[in-house]
Copies of this chain bind each other. A is one copy, B any other.
Amino acid sequence: SSYRGTDASLVLQHARSMSSVSVPPPKCLQKTFVAPRRHMFGPGPSNVPPRILAAGAEPVIGHMHPEMLEIMSDIKSGIQYAFQTENNMTIAVSGTGHTAMECAIFNAVEPGEGVLTAVNGIWGERAAEMAERIGAKVNSIVTTAGGYFTSEEIDQALAKHKPVLFFLTHGESSTGVVHPLDGIGDICHKHNCLFLVDCVASMGGAPLYMDKQGIDILYSGSQKVLNAPPGTAPISFSERACQKVFNRKTKPVSFFLDMTWLANYWGCDGKPARIYHHTAPVSAFYALRESLAILAEQVTLVWFLNHDAIHTLLDRNARLPTVTTIVAPPGYDWKEITSYIMKNHNLEISGGLGPSVGQVLRVGLMGGNSSKASVDMVLEALRDALRYCHKSKV
C-alpha cells in the first residue's frame, strides 16, 4: 500500500485536518452512470458515432507533447477543408460555439467601434449582446423569424452605420433558415467592414466556401454535422481579419481567447517556440480530429448533397438542410408531441428556440444521422404522436 512509510506525526497532523471535514461524500455519486441510448434528431448535439467516442477515450497526453501539436495541425487542416479556406489563422477554440462567437467578437472589435448584426433569429441577438458587453456601438437589422436579408438591405445598413464588423448567421437553427452568402463579403469590403459568419448549424451540411465567399471570420461547433461531442469550436480568420486583430490599440477583454496567444499555441504565428497558454481539452481534440477525418473521407459533393437530399424529403422550400423546421401541428401542445416521441420512440426532436418557440418543431439530421432511415424514423414517430397526443389542448 502507498501508506507505508508515513510517519506518525503526519498521521496526527492529518487527523487534525480531518476534524475540519464537514461536508460528507454525496450519496448521489454512488450510482453508476450509464447514458441512455437515443436518436439525437434535434438541432444538436447529434449522435456521436462509436469511432469518434473511441477516439475521445484514448489516453490523455500532455497538451504540448509533440503528438498533440501534430493533432492540432491535423485539426487545422481538417477545418481548412471543412471551411474551404487556405487561411493560415485557422484553429479550434477550447470551448463551445458560444466561446468561438466571443472569440471572434472579442478579437475583431475594440471598445467604441461599430458592429452591425443581422437578426433573423436568436444568434444575431446573442452576437449583438456580446458586442455590447465589450463596449461596441451595436446596430442591428431585423427581419421576421424565418426571413433573411437582401444584398441591398445589407448594403444600405452598412452605408448607414459604418461598422467595423458585420455579423450574419449562415444556418439559423432557431428558424431553419440558411442565409444566402454570395456577394455579401464584397459588399462588406466595399464598406471597409469585416464579414463574420456563424456556421455552427450549417457547416458540412450546406455549401460554404469561406475564401470564395469573402468571409473574414468563420466559426462553427463540433456537435452538429461533425458529430463530435460539444466542447470544441473551429474558427478561421482571413488575412484582412488578421490585419485588424493583430493591430489593435487595446488588448481583447479575454486572455483565454486572445488570438495573439492562441495563434502561437496553434503554431500559426511563425514563431519557433510554443508558449504555454492554457491546457487544451486533449480528449475533445482527439474526438474533433476524428470527426474531421470522417468528413475528409467523403468527397465534398457527398456531404452537401446528402444533407440536401435528406432535407428535401422533409421540406421542399430549400431551407437549412441540417435543421428542418416543421410548422407545429395546429391544435396540439408541441411539448406533448416531443415528450411523447422521446418517451415512446427514444428519439429527440425539439421545439422552437427564441422567436420560433411554439411555432415549429425542429428536426436535425446531421452528419451520420443524415439518412433516409432517420427520416423514416422521424416521420413514423410524428405520425404516431399525432395519433396519440391530445388535440385541442392549446
Does A77 sit within 8 A of B, measured CB to CB? yes
Interface stretch of the complex, out of A10-18, A140-148, A158-166: A10-18
Interface size on A, residues (CB 8 A): 122
Q: Are B94 and A231 in contact (CB under 8 A)?
A: yes
Q: Are A17 and B207 in contact (CB under 8 A)?
A: yes
Q: Are B255 and A133 in contact (CB under 8 A)?
A: yes
Number of copies: 2
Residue of B at shortest CB range from A210? B23
Does A229 sit within 8 A of B, measured CB to CB? yes
Residues of B close to A48: CB separation below 8 A: 59-60, 283
Residues of B close to A310: CB separation below 8 A: 2
Contact with B along A89-128 (1 / 0, CB 8 A): 0000011111101100000000000000000000000100
Contact with B along A328-346 (1 / 0, CB 8 A): 0000000000000000000
- Which residue of the partner chain, among B6, B42, B77, contacts A305 with CB atoms under 8 Å? B6
Does A149 sit within 8 A of B, measured CB to CB? no
Does A169 sit within 8 A of B, measured CB to CB? no
Interface stretch of the complex, out of A49-57, A186-194, A386-394: A49-57
Quick one: which of A280-311 are within 8 Å of B by CB? Answer: 280-284, 286-287, 289-290, 292-293, 296-297, 299-301, 304-306, 308-310
Best-surrounded residue of A230, A277, A278 (most CB of chain B within 10 A):
A230
Q: Are B229 and A284 in contact (CB under 8 A)?
A: yes
A223 to B94, CA, bound (A): 14
- Which residue of the partner chain, among B85, B209, B256, B296, contacts A95 with CB atoms under 8 Å? B256
A57 to B50, CA, bound (A): 8
A20 to B300, CA, bound (A): 10
Q: Are A305 and B74 in contact (CB under 8 A)?
A: no
Q: Are A35 and B286 in contact (CB under 8 A)?
A: yes
Does A268 sit within 8 A of B, measured CB to CB? no
Q: Are A33 and B58 in contact (CB under 8 A)?
A: yes
A236 to B373, CA, bound (A): 45
Residues of B close to A21: CB separation below 8 A: 84, 209, 300-301
Cβ distance A385 to chain B, nearest Cβ, rounded Å: 18
- Which residue of the partner chain, among B59, B95, B309, contacts A6 with CB atoms under 8 Å? B309
Known: A281-B281, A309-B6. A77 touches B26 (CB 8 A): yes
Q: Are A94 and B97 in contact (CB under 8 A)?
A: no
Best-surrounded residue of A14, A23, A133 (most CB of chain B within 10 A):
A23
Q: Are A279 and B230 in contact (CB under 8 A)?
A: yes
- Which residue of the partner chain, among B26, B83, B281, contacts A80 with CB atoms under 8 Å? B26
Known: A95-B256, A229-B284. 19 other contacts (CB 8 A): A2-B372, A4-B372, A7-B312, A10-B312, A15-B301, A25-B300, A28-B73, A28-B77, A29-B78, A33-B71, A35-B60, A36-B67, A40-B61, A45-B61, A47-B60, A53-B58, A94-B231, A96-B278, A229-B282
Nearest 9 CB-CB pairings of A with B: A231-B281, A26-B77, A57-B57, A229-B283, A35-B58, A25-B296, A29-B293, A6-B309, A98-B278
